[in-house]
Structure 1
């Protein structure tokens, strides 16, 4: 085990994998999250649907992970698929263009 650690420490910097990015450490995460929450509030008011039902914190983070390609995804996020897509997929897609990786 110790020899494996020594081998890894001897590797040149270029041979090391890129560090994993955490969603909340991404530049613009808070601003993007707040913008999505504001859009959700607008859509929920205009369609008389609870904001909590429309988009949870987990679903917003799922969308941002997918958009910034931080984690592998099996399909589209919940906020831009199914019944939620009918209400806000187009607006969310436009909004996400303001927050490139």
Structure 2
């Protein structure tokens, strides 16, 4: 079990994280519970350095998603859209769409 350490006393199982969202110098962490979000006084970039690169992907300047909790990928023009298991949809930035396609396009067979 891999854990994301937020403080000395607070850790989150990486599998429980759906996505992370930047809020200036804070990061909101949305989990499978979806009823609450955890706010960390760390920037998204700082937290992203602690995440497994195989599980998490930064889709734009303000969001990182857990690839294990994506139910569907679609492609519209040059953009990639990820739909999470909770129904939320996220649009990749143009640059990140290209990076994602290079990294995993064949595996996910983007349409």
TM-score by length of 2: 0.26
- Say which structure is richer in strand: 2
- Structure exhibiting the larger radius of gyration computed from Cα positions: 1
Identify which of structures 1 and 2 has the higher relative contact order when contacts are C-alpha pairs closer than 8 Å and 6+ apart: 1
